[in-house]
Structures are given as C-alpha cells and as structure tokens.
Amino acid sequence: MIRPSVLLFAFLMSAPALYRYVLNQVDTTEVLIRFVIAVPIAALLLAGLRFVTAGYGRSEGKPEGIPVTPTPLDVHKA
C-alpha cells in the first residue's frame, strides 16, 4: 500500500505540471504521466529518508547512564 506521505510528495513534485495544465499549456495525459512517474521516485526518496532516520532516538539496549542513589546532604549552618 502506498503511504499518504508518498502521494503528497509526488503531488508536490508534479505540481508545476498541474499549474501548467491550469494555464492550458499541457494536456491531461501529460499531467497524469508526470504524476505516475513521480510516485515511485517519491517512494524511493522517502524510503531512503526513513532508512537514514530510523536509528535516531533509539537506545539499542544501552543503559541510559549510571544509576545514582540520592543521599541526604549535610549542610551546617554557621
């Protein structure tokens, strides 16, 4: 199944062709062909982005740090 983000990105990539269609400079088939070509390109680019950013924010089983036990602090008032 194609993710909505892929379709949105493909729509943004083919937006200049859609704009030229509104101005009657291209026909409908050319706009659709550009969108169909943009969908796999957008899917590959977003998959690459997901692959690169997949590891961020994971700790991979490593401890967060050294556990610290709080101890009372003796403060002598003079």
Tens-digit pLDDT profile for residues 52-77: 998 887 766 666 677 778 787 777 76
Q: Measured between alpha carbons, how far is 56 from 76 in angstroms, rounded to an integer?
A: 46
Residue 18 has pLDDT above 80, yes or no: yes
Of all residues in the chain, the percent with pLDDT exceeding 70 is 88
Q: Measured between alpha carbons, how far is 37 from 63 in angstroms, rounded to an integer?
A: 46
User: What number is the average pLDDT over the span 33-62?
Assistant: 89
Residue 4 has pLDDT above 80, yes or no: yes
- 60, 17 Cβ separation under 8 angstroms: no
Q: What is the pTM of this model?
A: 0.68
